[in-house]
C-alpha cells in the first residue's frame, strides 16, 4: 500500500510512476479529497474531545464545591453525541480511503523503465544454447516416452492443467526440490513449511487482494479461505501486525509448497505439458530487511536463484522487467529465464522482487530502531528458488541424447541414488 503522505506531498511523481506501469490514476483525486475530509473530521473530533476533557475536570471541581452542574453536563452529553457522530463519519471516510489505496499498485523503483514486456532488459546470459546432431524432441514427447510424466491420467484425475509424476520423473522432481532446499539451508536460510490454506487477510497483505481474488482457488465452506498461489503469500504474513527489533533483521526464510493457481485466460498452443498448470512445486525465498538493506538483499536473492540454475548446467538468462511487467505489489523484479529448445524461446523459472515497504504497510509489519526507539516499516523481498514446472522441461530438452535418453545433471546424481541417465524402461 502506498503512503498517503507520499501521495499528498508528491502527487505528480506518484501519478507518473503509476502511469509508467500502465496503471489507472483516476482514484488519486478521490483519495486526496477523502484525505482532506479525513483531516477535517479528525481536527473537529480532537477539538471536541479536548473541550470535553477540560469541562469534565471543571464539572468535578464544581461538584466538590457543591455547585449545580446539570446544565453543563447536558451540554457535554450533546458534545459526546457530536463526537460519536464525527467518529462514525471518520471511520467511514478512512475505510473508503483505505479501500482505494489497497487497489493501487506499487510504485516502480528508481531505474525501472516504463512500459511492458517489450521494454524488458536482458542483463546477462549464462552458457550456450544447446545444439544437436539429431532431431531433438520436445519435453512432452520425451517425458511420455520415458514414462516420467503421465499427462492423460493427470487430466483424468484433476482436469486440464494437471499432470502426474511417476517413476524416475517423480524421483527427478524430488531431487530438484531437495537440491534447492539443501542449498538454502547451507546459506543459513530458515526452512518453513507453511499452511497451504490461507485467510483473506493473507491475500490482502501480499497485495493479491482485492484486485486478483478471482485468480486463486477459493474455499467457501467457512469464511474466505483460499489455496496459496505461492509460498510468498504465507511468508509475508508470518509477522503481520508485529514489531520486530532491529537486531531481528534481516530475516532470511525459504519454504517448500505446491502452488495452486487458476491461471485465468487461455493457453497458447505452445504452452503444453508442464509450461503452465494449476498446481506445481516451488521453493520460495523470502527476506525481511531494514529499508537501507533491501537492495543488498535483492542482489543476494538474484545471485542465489542464478547459482541454482548454473549448478544444473542449464542455459539461461537474467532479465530486468519494465514497470508494466512487474506484478502489482513489486517495485522491481528480475526474472531468471530458461531456454526451451522446442519452443525456441526463454521461459521464466524464477522471479526475484523487492516490494520495499508496500506489503509491510498493508500488513502493518514494522521494526523498532535501537537508537531512536521509533518504529518503521520493514522492506520485504521474495524470489523463486526455484519453481520446477519449467525446470523439468528445460532439463529434459537440454540434456536429451540421440538415443532418446536423458542425462541427469551432475549435481542431482547423488540425489538420484547415483543414477546418471534416464532411459526407457
259 close to 231: Cβ distance less than 8 angstroms:
yes
- The CA-based diameter of the chain, rounded to the nearest angstrom, is 107
Mean pLDDT of 346-357: 97
Indicate whether 274 pLDDT > 90.
no
pLDDT one-digit tens code per residue, 154-195: 999 999 999 999 999 999 999 999 999 999 999 999 999 999
Grid cell at residue 157: 484425475
- Whether the CA torsion 401, 407, 409, 410 is positive or negative: it is negative
> Kind and range of the H or E element at 309?
helix 294-311
103: confidence class by pLDDT, cuts 50, 70, 90? very high
- C-alpha 37/C-alpha 86 separation (Å) is 11
Half-sphere exposure of 100 (CA within 13 A, CB side): 20
pLDDT the model gives residue 273? 61
pLDDT one-digit tens code per residue, 306-351: 999 999 999 999 999 999 999 999 999 999 999 999 999 999 999 9
- C-alpha 106/C-alpha 355 separation (Å) is 8
Nearest to 362 by CA among 106, 43, 7: 106
Q: Give the distance, in angstroms, between the CA of residue 254 and the centroid of all CA atoms in the same chain.
A: 13
- Whether the CA torsion 224, 227, 232, 236 is positive or negative: it is positive
Q: Which residues pair with 366 in a beta bridge?
A: 243, 377
Q: What is the DSSP string of 360-393?
A: HHHHT-EEE-TTT--EEE-EEEEEEEEESTTHHH
Express as a percent the part of the chain with pLDDT over 70. 97
pLDDT the model gives residue 66? 86
Residue 226: phi and psi, rounded to 5, are -145, 160
End-to-end CA distance of the chain: 54
Structure-model confidence comparison of residues 61 and 134, the more confident one: 134
- Segments of 91-189 assigned E as strands: 121-126, 149-150, 164-165
Domains of the chain: 4-102 (1.10.287.40), 117-422 (3.30.930.10)
pTM, full prediction: 0.92
Q: Which residues of 10-31 are buried (b: 16+ CB within 10 A; e: fewer)?
A: eeeebeebbebbebeeebbeeb
Kindly tell me the burial class for residue 355, based on how many C-beta atoms sit within 10 Å of its own C-beta (0-12, 13-18, 19 or more).
Answer: buried
In the DSSP assignment, the letter for residue 114 is S
Mean pLDDT of 29-44: 97
pLDDT one-digit tens code per residue, 358-413: 999 999 999 999 999 999 999 999 999 999 999 999 999 999 999 999 999 999 99
- C-alpha 151/C-alpha 169 separation (Å) is 12
pLDDT the model gives residue 266? 45
* Torsion angle of C-alpha atoms 180, 182, 183, 186, degrees rounded to 10: 160
388 close to 280: Cβ distance less than 8 angstroms:
yes
**Residue whose cell numbers read 528508481:** 110
- C-alpha 219/C-alpha 202 separation (Å) is 14
75: confidence class by pLDDT, cuts 50, 70, 90? confident
Nearest to 233 by CA among 186, 268, 196: 196
Structure-model confidence comparison of residues 12 and 212, the more confident one: 12
Nearest to 160 by CA among 280, 281, 278, 282: 278
Nearest to 44 by CA among 90, 105, 93: 90
pLDDT the model gives residue 220? 78
SS3 262: coil
Amino acid at each position: 500500500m502506498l503512503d498517503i503522505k507520499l501521495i499528498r506531498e508528491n502527487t505528480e511523481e506518484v501519478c507518473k510512476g503509476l502511469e509508467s506501469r500502465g496503471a489507472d490514476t483516476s482514484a488519486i483525486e478521490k483519495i486526496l479529497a477523502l484525505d482532506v475530509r479525513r483531516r477535517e473530521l479528525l481536527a473537529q473530533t480532537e477539538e471536541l474531545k479536548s473541550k470535553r476533557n477540560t469541562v469534565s475536570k471543571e464539572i468535578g471541581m464544581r461538584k466538590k464545591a457543591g455547585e449545580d452542574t446539570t446544565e453543563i453536563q447536558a451540554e457535554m452529553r450533546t458534545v459526546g453525541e457530536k463526537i460519536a457522530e464525527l467518529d462514525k463519519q471518520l471511520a467511514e471516510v478512512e475505510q473508503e480511503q483505505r479501500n482505494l489505496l489497497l487497489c493501487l499498485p506499487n510504485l516502480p523503483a528508481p531505474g525501472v523503465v516504463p512500459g511492458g514486456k517489450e521494454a524488458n532488459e536482458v542483463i546477462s546470459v549464462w552458457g550456450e544454447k544447446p545444439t544437436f546432431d539429431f532431431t531433438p524432441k520436445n519435453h512432452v514427447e520425451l517425458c511420455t516416452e520415458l514414462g516420467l510424466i503421465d499427462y492423460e491420467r493427470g487430466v483424468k484425475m484433476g482436469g486440464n492443467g494437471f499432470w502426474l509424476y511417476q517413476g524416475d520423473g517423480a524421483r527427478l522432481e524430488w531431487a530438484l526440490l531437495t537440491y534447492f532446499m539443501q542449498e538454502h539451508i547451507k546459506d543459513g536460510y530458515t526452512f518453513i513449511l507453511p499452511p497451504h490454506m490461507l485467510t483473506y487477510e493473507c491475500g490482502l497483505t501480499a497485495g493479491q487482494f482485492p484486485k486478483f481474488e478471482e485468480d486463486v482457488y477459493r474455499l467457501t465452506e467457512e469464511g474466505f479461505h483460499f489455496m496459496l498461489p505461492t509460498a510468498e503469500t504465507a511468508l509475508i504474513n508470518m509477522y503481520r501486525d508485529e514489531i520486530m527489533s532491529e537486531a531481528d533483521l534481516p530475516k532470511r526464510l525459504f519454504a517448500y509448497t505446491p502452488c495452486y493457481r487458476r491461471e485465468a485466460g487461455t493457453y497458447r498452443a505452445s504452452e503444453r505439458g508442464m509450461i503452465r498448470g494449476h498446481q506445481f512445486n516451488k521453493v520460495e525465498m523470502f527476506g525481511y530487511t531494514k529499508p537501507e538493506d533491501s537492495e543488498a538483499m535483492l542482489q543476494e536473492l538474484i545471485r542465489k536463484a542464478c547459482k541454482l540454475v548454473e549448478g544444473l548446467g542449464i542455459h539461461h538468462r537474467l532479465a530486468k522487467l519494465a514497470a508494466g511487467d512487474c506484478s502489482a505489489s513489486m517495485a522491481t523484479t528480475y526474472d531468471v529465464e530458461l531456454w526451451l529448445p522446442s519452443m525456441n524461446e526463454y521461459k521464466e523459472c524464477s522471479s526475484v522482487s523487492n516490494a520495499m515497504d508496500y506489503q509491510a504497510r498493508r500488513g502493518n509489519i514494522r521494526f523498532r530502531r535501537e537508537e531512536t526507539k521509533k518504529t518503521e516499516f520493514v522492506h520485504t523481498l521474495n524470489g523463486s528458488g526455484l519453481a520446477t514446472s519449467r525446470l523439468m522441461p528445460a532439463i529434459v530438452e537440454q540434456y536429451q541424447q540421440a538415443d532418446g535418453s536423458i542425462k541427469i545433471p551432475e549435481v542431482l546424481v547423488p540425489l538420484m541414488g547415483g543414477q546418471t541417465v534416464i532411459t526407457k524402461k
